[in-house]
Amino acid sequence: MAALLPVRHAHALTIYVDEANPPFMYRSDDQAEGIYPDIVRAVFARAGISVKIIAVPWRRALMHLENGDGGIAGIYKNLERQKRYAFSDPIHREGLMIYRPKTDFAGESDLDDLEGMSVGVIRGWSYGDAFDSARRAGLFSASEATGDDQNFSMLISKRIDAVIAVREAGDIWIKKLRLEDQIVRAESALFENQTFIALNRRSKDLSKIALINRAIAEMVEDGTFDSIVTNALRQAIGSAFH
C-alpha cells in the first residue's frame, strides 16, 4: 500500500456534497457522510491535501462550484460542465434505474419507455446528456423533489408515474420506507454514469487535480475504493440520515 503524503495544512480545500442523497452523500449529525465523503477523505489523505467536506442542498453545492469557492464530489460530467469545470478521474459509477408502482410496471427500462410520463427527479441534478436532452425535448415531464424519499412518496400517491434513482440509493429508500411490496425496479440500468470530483477552472487549487488523480489510481489498484463503498453502504442502511 502506498504511503500517505504529509498533509498540507496551509489551506484546506472545501469540497461540497449533497446533504440528501444516501448512501452516496448525506448529512448525519451535522456531518457529511456516505460513499463520496468517505472517498474524498481517503483520497485527500493519500494525496496529502487538507480538506473540509460540507453537506448542503445540491443546488447550493453547484453554486459554490460555479462561484469557484469550493469543489464538489459525486458530480456527473456533461458537455456544458466540461467547459467550466476541471474533473478528476472517476471515483464511482452509478446505475440510473427506473422505478414504477408494481401494479403499473410493464418492463420499462429504456428512455423511450418514459414517453408521456411524469417522472420524479432530484432538483438541480443532471442525469447525463441523453436524459437531459430528452427532458428538454418534452419526451416526458419532470417532477422535481429535494430527494428520492419525496419522489417515492409521490409515486405511491400516484402523483407521478415513475422515479429515476441511482440503484443503491433507490433500493435503500424503498427498504427504509417499507415499500418493497409496492414499488418495482427495472432489471437493467437506464444509464451508467461515472462520478467525479470537480473544481472550477478558475480555482487556485486546480493544480491539485494531478495529486488527486494519482491517489485515486493507487486506491483503485489496492482495493481501497471497494472497501470504502462496502463500509459506507453498510453504515447507510442503519443510519438515521436526513
Q: What is the CATH number of the domain that holds 138?
A: 3.40.190.10
106 and 184, same domain (yes or no): yes
Number of domains within the chain: 2
Q: CA 204 to CA 53: how far, in whole Å? A: 18
Q: Nearest Cα to 242, choosing from 21, 17, 73?
A: 21
62 and 78, same domain (yes or no): yes
Q: Nearest Cα to 74, choosing from 152, 17, 123?
A: 17
223 and 187, same domain (yes or no): no
223 and 178, same domain (yes or no): no
185 and 98, same domain (yes or no): yes
Report the largest interatomic distance among the alpha carbons of the chain, rounded to a whole angstrom.
58
101 and 82, same domain (yes or no): no
175 and 210, same domain (yes or no): no
65 and 178, same domain (yes or no): no
Task: Going residue by residue through the chain, which has 242 residues, state the pLDDT in tens, using 9 for 90 and above.
Answer: 455 555 554 689 999 999 988 899 999 889 999 999 999 999 999 999 999 999 999 999 999 999 999 999 999 999 999 999 999 999 999 999 999 999 999 888 899 999 999 999 999 888 989 999 999 999 999 999 988 999 999 999 999 999 999 998 999 899 889 999 999 999 999 999 999 999 999 999 999 999 999 999 999 999 999 999 988 888 876 664 44
End-to-end CA distance of the chain: 35
Structural domain of residue 104, as residue ranges? Answer: 94-191
The answer to the question of residue 242 being in a domain is no
